[in-house]
Amino acid sequence: MEHAGIAFDHVRKEYPDGTVAVEDLSLEVTPGEILCLVGPSGCGKSTTLRMVNRLVEPTSGTITVDGADVMSQDAVQLRRSIGYVIQHVGLFPHRTVAQNVATVPGLLKWDKARTRARAEELLDLVGLPHGKYGSRYPHELSGGERQRVGVARALAVEPPVMLMDEPFGAVDPQRRRSLQQEFKDLQRGLGITVMMVTHDIREAVILADRIAVFSQGGVLEQLGTPDEVSDHPANAFVEDFLADFGALSN
Ligand code: ADP
């Protein structure tokens, strides 16, 4: 799988009602890393993420994925080439697990044998043996299992880049830790570049190679490894934000 990075260069997003969600963001996600965006509610994390696959279009500035400007690409093709996982995975309720995973290969008109083989391989990869789970329907799964299907679906076309918005938010706390670790192992193995939004700083510490701490307006207060951010907060804002979560070590 090719490695790709994401780069924001002086990106601004002003919504039509005048809300400036992101003022002037410059940020690079290094190929193969997991970068977590954290910060208080409403600080522009989701807007930032969604500009990468053009669910939201930037007002100005440039965003590139693997060096290519997202605005110069076809939006639908761009979206299909980037994995996207959200809190409520949005599986199709009347399609089986295997059919859900095969959604994008189906849209891309892969032949049936290749699509089936890929869906089976991915279900096995995310710990849902296809023989047991492939023909089930989403309502026959636990929240954690549904989330795994969401990850498998996002991986179907080997996207070099994945965007994840609170991907484990709907999973109960006990299972969340093991799912996080499994996801990290998977990501390492595949070498995918991941940009992830989380409100859970502990999740960021477990998963991230680097953490970006935002304040209102998508202002980048600190960018660093989990250790750098927790041991050396750049300023009072970061310190207060971390303090709200209590000690990070437990
Ligand atoms: P976060 O993900 O950090 O909670 P968001 O990116 O969702 O933040 O929102 C950033 C700001 O933009 C907030 O003030 C939010 O109310 C506003 N916002 C988000 N989406 C829209 C929209 N479609 N129209 C107008 N304002 C929006």
> Tell me: the pLDDT tens digits for 78-93?
998 898 988 777 889 9
Nearest residue (CA) to ligand 1, atom 21: 15
Out of 47, 86, 216, give the residue to mutate to test ligand 1, the one with the largest number of ligand atoms within 8 Å of its CB: 47
Atom index in ligand 1 nearest the CA of residue 37 equals 3
Q: Which of 8, 13, 15, 197 to mutate to test the pocket of ligand 1 (most atoms within 8 A of CB)?
A: 15
Q: How confident is the model at residue 38, as a pLDDT? A: 96
The predicted-structure confidence for 143-182, as pLDDT tens digits, reads as follows: 888 888 988 898 887 888 999 998 887 777 777 888 888 8
Whether the Cβ atoms of residue 229 and residue 201 lie closer than 8 Å to each other? no
Q: According to the model, what pLDDT value does residue 249 have?
A: 47
| φ, ψ for residue 31, nearest 5 deg | -50, 130
Neighbours of 172 (CB within 10 A): 11
Q: What pLDDT, on the 0 to 100 scale, is given for residue 2?
A: 52
Q: How far apart are CA 80 and CA 197, in angstroms?
A: 20
CA distance 168 to 13: 26
* Orientation of helix 173-190 relative to helix 143-155, angle to 10°: 20
Atom of ligand 1 nearest to the CA of 22: 10
Q: Token pair 């994401």 is at which residue?
A: 6
Ligand 1 centroid to Cα of residue 40, in Å, is 12
> What burial class does residue 41 get, using C-beta atoms within 10 Å of its C-beta: 0-12 exposed, 13-18 middle, 19+ buried?
exposed
- 212 CB-near residues (< 8 Å, 6+ apart): 27, 35, 36, 37, 38, 220, 222, 223
Average confidence score pLDDT of the chain: 90
| DSSP, res 70 | G
Length of the chain: 250
Distance between CA 169 and CA 147 in Å, rounded?
A: 10
Ranking 29-33, 96-100, 149-153 by mean pLDDT, the lowest is 149-153
Which protein residue has the closest C-alpha to ligand 1 atom 18?
21
Residues having CB within 6 Å of any atom of ligand 1: 15, 17, 19, 21, 39, 41-47
Check residue 139 and report its DSSP letter.
G
CB of 194 within 8 A of CB of 34?
Answer: yes
Classified as helix, coil or strand, 231 is: helix
Instruction: Please identify, by atom number, the ligand 1 atom nearest to the C-alpha of residue 47.
Output: 6
Beta bridge partners of 34: 194
Residue 64: enclosing H or E segment and its boundaries?
strand 60-65
What pLDDT digit, counting tens, does each position of 185-221 carry?
Answer: 889 988 899 999 998 888 899 999 999 999 999 999 9
Cβ–Cβ < 8 Å for 208, 197: no
* Residues linked to residue 185 through DSSP beta bridges, in sequence order: none
- Under the banding of pLDDT at 50, 70 and 90, the label for residue 248 is low
Strand partners, 194: 34, 162
Distance, CA of 210 to CA of 198 (rounded, Å): 13
pLDDT value at 247 more than 60: no
Q: Which residues of 192-204 are buried (b: 16+ CB within 10 A; e: fewer)?
A: bbbbbbbebbbbb
CA angle 75, 35, 239 (to 5 degrees): 130
